[in-house]
C-alpha cells in the first residue's frame, strides 16, 4: 500500500480512529490491532511477503528470549549467529542470488571459460532490507547486553511490522521504539496536529517536487543516446533533489503517521545538501541507516581504533557494503565505493590539517561530488554511467533539453521553493518562530501546500524510490 494512494487515504483514517478507541483500554488489544493493520498494509502488495516477515520476526523473538537466559559465551555466539544467518540469508537469497550468480559467470567469462549457472525468477519482497536490519539489531543489542528481551510476542511482532516505517524506514532501534508498544497511550491533540502537518509536508515533497522532477529525469536518463552533457548535468541535479524529496518525504509521512498514533520515530534527514563535509552529509542523509552501519559494521570492524590505514580501510569497506545494501547492481557498489573514497580522502586531509575551505565552498564541493556519485546510482548500468560522464566532459552541447516547457518550469519552481524553505531552516531558524507562534500562519502554510499539491502535484501512484531497496 502506497502512502500516495487512495487505498492509504481510506486505510489510515480508519486505523487512526480504531487505534484511539482501543488505546486506553487494553495494551494487548491495541497492539493486536496494530499488528493486524500492519500486516494488512504490508500484504496489500503480495500476501506471500507476510510469511517472510513473520518467519524473521519469530526467529529473532525466540533468539532474544534465549539470549536473555544464556550466559555461556559459546551459546550466546551460536544464538546471535542464528539470527544473523537467518536474516542475512533471507536478504542474500531474495535480493542478491541472481546478482552473484551472474557475476560468477562474468568472472569466468573474463578468463575465457564459459559456464552455466541458473538464475531464478525471484520477486524482491518490499522492505526486506529495512525490516531484516531492524529485527537483527534487536538480537545484536541483546547479545551485547545493551537491551533486555521483550516477553510479549504481540508487542514484538508489532514493533517489527509497524506499518508507517515498515517498508522504507526509518530503521528503528528496539531500544527506542519497542518500549513504546508497552506504554499506555493518551491522545495528545498538539502531537497529532504536528503529525498531520508532517504528513502533508511529506506528501508535498513526494508529489509536488520529487515526482514532478522525476518526469524530467526519466525522460533524460531513459534516452541516454539522445541528450548532451549539459542536459545530463541538469537531470543529475534534478535527480539529487528528486531522490532526497522522495525519500525524505516518505520518512516525514512515516514519522507523521506514527506521531498521530502517539509514537516517536527518529528523524531520518536533516537538510543533507547543506552539508559542508561528507562526514556531515552522512550525519544528515538516511540517518537511521548510516548510524546502523556505524554501530553494527564500522565499529565491529575496528572503527578508528587502529592505525590510520586500518581506519581508512574500515571506512571504505563500510561504504562499499552500504552500496551493496542499496541494490544488487554494480552501479550501487561503485556509488558506495565513491562515498567511501570521498570519506577516506577527506579524513586523510583533515588528519594532515592541509585543507581549510570556506563553508560555502565546501557545501558546493560536497554537493557537486555527491551529484557525480548519483550518476552511478541512477544509471541502469555501469557502461551507461560512463557514457553519461563522457557526454558531460566531452560533449556538453549548447542547449539544455526542456521537453515540455511546463514540466521543466514547474520543476524549477519546486526546487526554488525547497531551496528557500531549507535555507531558512538551516541558516535562519529564528524566522520559523512566526510559524510556531501564529495559528493563522500555520493554517495558511498548510492550506498552501495542499492547494499546491492539488494543482501541480503528480498523482500517478508512483512508488517511492527506496521501495526497490
d(CA 161, CA 6): 22
95 or 343, greater pLDDT = 343
- Range 382-411 average pLDDT: 86
Q: Which residues contact 341 (CB under 8 A, 6 or more apart)?
A: 316
Tell me the mean pLDDT in the region 28-50: 90
Are residues 437 and 431 in contact, defined by beta-carbon separation less than 8 angstroms? no
So what's the pLDDT on residue 427? 87
Per-residue model confidence (pLDDT) at position 404: 73
Burial pattern 292-331, b for ≥16 Cβ within 10 A else e, equals bbebbbbeebebeeeeeeebbbbbbbbbbbbbbbbbbbbb
pLDDT at 258: 95
Give me 41's grid cell. Answer: 498494509
Quick one: how many helices (H) and strands (E) in the chain?
21, 0
pLDDT band at residue 439 under the 50/70/90 scheme: confident
Helix, strand or coil for residue 244?
helix
d(CA 100, CA 262): 43
> 326 falls in which pLDDT band (50, 70, 90)?
confident
Digit-coded pLDDT (tens) for 111-139: 555 566 565 566 777 888 888 999 999 99
**DSSP track, 128-183:** HHHHHHHHHHHHHHHHTTSSPPP--HHHHHHHHH-GGGTTT-----HHHHGGGGGS
Cβ-Cβ contacts under 8 Å for 148 (sequence gap 6 or more): 68, 142
pLDDT for 249 equals 92
CB neighbours of residue 64 within 10 Å:
25
Cα 66 to Cα 63, 70, 75, 77, 247, distances in angstroms: 5, 6, 9, 11, 37
SS3 103: helix
DSSP state, 467? G
Q: Is the pLDDT of residue 109 over 70?
A: no
Give 444's pLDDT tier (boundaries 50, 70, 90): confident
For residue range 129-168, list pLDDT tens digits in order: 888 999 999 999 999 999 999 999 999 999 999 999 988 8
Q: Give percent above pLDDT 90 in the chain.
A: 53
Greater model confidence, 6 or 437: 6
- 271 backbone φψ class: left, alpha, beta (φ>0; ψ -120 to 50): left
* 3-state SS assignment for residue 264: coil
Q: What is the DSSP letter of 306?
A: S
Of the candidates 375, 401, 407, 379, which has an alpha carbon nearest to the alpha carbon of residue 228?
A: 401
Long-range pairs for 8-15: beta carbons < 8 A, 24 or more residues apart: 11/37, 11/40, 11/41, 12/257, 15/163, 15/261
- Output the CA torsion 257→260→262→268 (10° steps): 40
Distance from C-alpha of 399 to C-alpha of 226, rounded to nearest angstrom: 13
Give catalytic residues, as residue numbers.
Answer: 326
Which whole-number Å values give the CA distances from 314 to 275, 308, 310, 341, 345, in the listed order? 22, 10, 6, 11, 13
pLDDT at residue 168, rounded to an integer: 80
Rounded to whole angstroms, how far apart are CA atoms 368 and 388? 15
Per-residue model confidence (pLDDT) at position 117: 58
Residue 372 CA to residue 377 CA, distance in Å, equals 9
Residue 467 has pLDDT above 70, yes or no: no
Least confident stretch, 70-74, 293-297, 417-421, 453-457 = 453-457
Of 312 and 448, the one with more pLDDT: 312
What confidence category does residue 400 fall into, taking pLDDT thresholds of 50, 70 and 90? Answer: confident
- At 353, the pLDDT band (50, 70, 90 cuts) reads confident
CA–CA separation, 42 and 274 (whole Å):
34
Alpha-carbon dihedral 58, 62, 65, 70, rounded to 10 degrees: -150
Bond into 170 cis (ω within 30):
yes
The reported pLDDT for the residue numbered 15 is 95
Measured distance CA(187)–CA(263) in Å, rounded:
11
Distances (CA, A) of 81 to 69, 143, 149: 16, 10, 17
Question: Per-residue b/e over 204-226, b at no fewer than 16 CB within 10 Å?
Answer: bbbbbbbbbbbbbbebbbeebee
Q: Residue 102 pLDDT more than 70?
A: no
Neighbours of 392 (CB within 10 A): 19
Amino acid at each position: 500500500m502506497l502512502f500516495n494512494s487512495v487505498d492509504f487515504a481510506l486505510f489510515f483514517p480508519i486505523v487512526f480512529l480504531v487505534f484511539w478507541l482501543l488505546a486506553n483500554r487494553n495494551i494487548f488489544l491495541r497492539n493486536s490491532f496494530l499488528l493486524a493493520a500492519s500486516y494488512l498494509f504490508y500484504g496489500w502488495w503480495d500476501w506471500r511477503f507476510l510469511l517472510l516477515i513473520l518467519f524473521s520476526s519469530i526467529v529473532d523473538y525466540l533468539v532474544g528470549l534465549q539470549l536473555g537466559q544464556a550466559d555461556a559465551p559459546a551459546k550466546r555466539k551460536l544464538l546471535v549467529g542464528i539470527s544473523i544467518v537467518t536474516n542475512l540469508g533471507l536478504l542474500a537469497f531474495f535480493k542478491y542470488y541472481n546478482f552473484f550468480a551472474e557475476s560468477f559467470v562474468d568472472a569466468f567469462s573474463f578468463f575465457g571459460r564459459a559456464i552455466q549457472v541458473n538464475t531464478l525468477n525471484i520477486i524482491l519482497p518490499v522492505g526486506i532490507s529495512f525490516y531484516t536490519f531492524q529485527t537483527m539489531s534487536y538480537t545484536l543489542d541483546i547479545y551485547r547486553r545493551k537491551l533486555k528481551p521483550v516477553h510479549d510476542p504481540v508487542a514484538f511482532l508489532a514493533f517489527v511490522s509497524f506499518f508507517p516505517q515498515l517498508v522504507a524506514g526509518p530503521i528503528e532501534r528496539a531500544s527506542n521504539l519497542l518500549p513504546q508498544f508497552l506504554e499506555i497511550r493518551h491522545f495528545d491533540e498538539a502531537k497529532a496536529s504536528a503529525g498531520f502537518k508532517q504528513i502533508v509536508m511529506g506528501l508535498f515533497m513526494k508529489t509536488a517536487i520529487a515526482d514532478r522532477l522525476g518526469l524530467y529525469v526519466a525522460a533524460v536518463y531513459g534516452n541516454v543516446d539522445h541528450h548532451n552533457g549539459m542536459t545530463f548535468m541538469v537531470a543529475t541535479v534534478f535527480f539529487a533533489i528528486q531522490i532526497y524529496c522522495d525519500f525524505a518525504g516518505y520518512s516525514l509521512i512515516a514519522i507523521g503517521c506514527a506521531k498521530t498514533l502517539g509514537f516517536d520515530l527518529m528523524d531520518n534527514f536533516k537538510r543533507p545538501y547543506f552539508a559542508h563535509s561528507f562526514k556531515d552529509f552522512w550525519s544528515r542523509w538516511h540517518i537511521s541507516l548510516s548510524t546502523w552501519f556505524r554501530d553494527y559494521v564500522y565499529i565491529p570492524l575496528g572503527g578508528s581504533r587502529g592505525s590510520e590505514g586500518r581506519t581508512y580501510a574500515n571506512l571504505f569497506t563500510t561504504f562499499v557494503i552500504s552500496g551493496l545494501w542499496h541494490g544488487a547492481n554494480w552501479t550501487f557498489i561503485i556509488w558506495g565505493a565513491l562515498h567511501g573514497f570521498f570519506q577516506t580522502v577527506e579524513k586523510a586531509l583533515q588528519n594532515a590539517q592541509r585543507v581549510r575551505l570556506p563553508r560555502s565552498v565546501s557545501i558546493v564541493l560536497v554537493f557537486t561530488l555527491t551529484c557525480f556519485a548519483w550518476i552511478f546510482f541512477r544509471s541502469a548500468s555501469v557502461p551507461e554511467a560512463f557514457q553519461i560522464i563522457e557526454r558531460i566532459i566531452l560533449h556538453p552541447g549548447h542547449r539544455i533539453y526542456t521537453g515540455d516547457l511546463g514540466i521543466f518550469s514547474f520543476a524549477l519552481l519546486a526546487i526554488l521553493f525547497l531551496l528557500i524553505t531549507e535555507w531558512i531552516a538551516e541558516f535562519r531558524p529564528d524566522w520559523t518562530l512566526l510559524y510556531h507562534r501564529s495559528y493563522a500562519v500555520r493554517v495558511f502554510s498548510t492550506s498552501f501546500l495542499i492547494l499546491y499539491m492539488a494543482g501541480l502535484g503528480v498523482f500517478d501512484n508512483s512508488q517511492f524510490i527506496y521501495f526497490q531497496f
